[in-house]
Amino acid sequence: MAASLVLRDAAPADVPTIARFVRALAEYEKLAHEARGTEADFHAALFGAPARAGCLIAEVDGAPAGMALYHWTFSTFLARHGRWLEDLWVEPAYRRRGIAKALFARLAKETLAEGGGRLAWNVLDWNTPAIATYDAMGADTLKEWITRRLAGDALRSLAAEAA
């Protein structure tokens, strides 16, 4: 009997699973020291007013198998919104079954249905299995763009300069 894959919007009861998946992803990416979000933080971001992010849950035969956590973006060049995929995680036991591609397809469909123009994300340069998946889907690599960020003390220092 074939396994049954269901993709659905996350519900508040999924928050512990989402937090566990994010911690697992952080471990995989060798960034566990940066994973500080609590279940309360995820609940507020996903289900607060207003919600700041969204999440799809993938289930196989009723068991949580993966997730896609995203937030909305805006492109001034397109003058349209889009989605930024912040985290994609598929549990190791469920990999190579098309779950990641199914999550991407659902995000793409929802982005277009909302009138969005882009679905974008980052991938670590050493994550060759993920890169191969993205290449197979036809995703562009934007090599000319360099991601930058302000966080922690640098963010607080610059904010202190604001009038």
CA distance 14 to 42: 10
Active-site entry in 28, 70, 94, 134: 134
Radius of gyration of the chain (CA): 17
Q: How far is Cα 19 from Cα 81, in angstroms, rounded to an integer? A: 27
Residue 134 among the catalytic residues: yes
Q: Which residues are catalytic?
A: 134
